[in-house]
Amino acid sequence: MTLQSAASELALLEAAAREAGALARALNAKPLEVQSKGELGPVTNIDLAVDALLTERLLGARPGYGWLSEEAPDDTTRRIGKARTFMLDPIDGTQALVNGVPQWTISIGIVEGERAFAGVVYNPMTDELFLGALGETATLNGRPMHTTKRETLDGARMLGQRSRFADRRWPTPWPKMDIIERHSIAYRMSLVAAGMGDAGVLFGFKNEWDIAAGAAIIESAGGIVSDLWGEPLVFNQPSPRAPGVAMSGAALHPLLIERTKAFPDPRTKT
């Protein structure tokens, strides 16, 4: 199989995300159909419709690629060993969608081997489209974007949950920061890539479909993404999840890891 160029992949991702976003907006103008997935939270008719559209568009264009979607059973034979694999969350932040909060996104990543290669994150309600690939300039609605050059945590704009940073169990308390909370994980990662936040931390296991696109976009924007102990994220694993994520501009990342490396590794729990 001949691999497509990064530019070709980005064109496909943007077109698919915008088409899916138009569908999502149209369906969101009507009453939602909401079901429960138990501990996995709600799923709506919009999640399923977007998943069906993206399956057709993306695999129709790249039939040899692997596939991992939150809204489809994971068949590892469809992705393990593939040169490139689509990893997507048709609607990331479904609870926000149900609550009428415009913080849900369409997140589509392409993993090459075990590394995030390209991604798009699109918020249909705010019309923000974040796009990036390794070796390409990251963009927000077509304009170049970059992570910040901030070098201190004191006063930083941090994407995450306020309660996590206020927990008194941290060996060293976090300095005063401007905590920015957003429902969608992919949205948080994209805001860091765009310099609208200086850093972000995701605690505990995170599914690869939630973070693949954002990881590629942050790296494309000049930032660094790792686990909470500073190790690179490894994608397309048999159990497709990462044990936490630390993300920021390059200068700030070592200071993040100084703090987050004290967080218990969920992989060691029995």
Amino acid letter, residue 188: R
The pLDDT tens digits of the residues spanning 158-199 come to 999 999 999 888 999 999 999 999 999 999 999 999 999 999
Mean pLDDT computed over 117-127: 98
Instruction: Determine how β-strand 139-140 pairs with β-strand 143-144.
Output: antiparallel
Q: What is the pLDDT of residue 252?
A: 98
Q: Helix, strand, or coil here: 169? A: coil
Question: Where residue 267 falls among pLDDT bands split at 50, 70, 90?
Answer: confident
- Count of residues for the chain? 270
* Segment 134-155, tens digit of pLDDT: 999 999 999 999 999 999 999 9
**pLDDT digit string (tens) for 12-25?**
999 999 999 999 99
Q: What digits encode the pLDDT tens for the residues 6-54? A: 999 999 999 999 999 999 999 999 999 999 988 778 999 999 999 999 9
Tell me how far apart the terminal alpha carbons of the chain are, to the nearest angstrom: 41
Mean pLDDT to the nearest integer, 115-141:
98
How do residues 66-85 score in pLDDT, each as one tens digit? Answer: 999 999 999 999 999 999 99
Per-residue pLDDT, averaged over 110-137, amounts to: 98
**Which carries the bigger pLDDT value, residue 138 or residue 264?**
138
157-268 placed in CATH 3.40.190.80: yes
A 10 A CB-CB count for 190 gives: 35
Residues ≥6 apart with Cβ < 8 Å to 262: 170, 171
**Domain chopping of the chain, boundaries:** 6-144, 157-268
pLDDT at 1: 65
Could you say which DSSP state residue 132 is in? E
Q: Is the pLDDT of residue 117 over 60?
A: yes
pLDDT band at 270 (very low <50, low <70, confident <90, very high): very low
| pLDDT average, residue stretch 190-215 | 97
pLDDT at 39: 78
CA–CA separation, 102 vs 4, rounded Å?
33
CATH topology of domain 6-144: Fructose-1,6-Bisphosphatase; Chain A, domain 1 (3.30.540)
Q: What is the DSSP string of 213-255?
A: HHHHHHHHTTEEEE-TTSPPP--S-SS-EES-EEEEETTTHHH
pLDDT for 2: 75
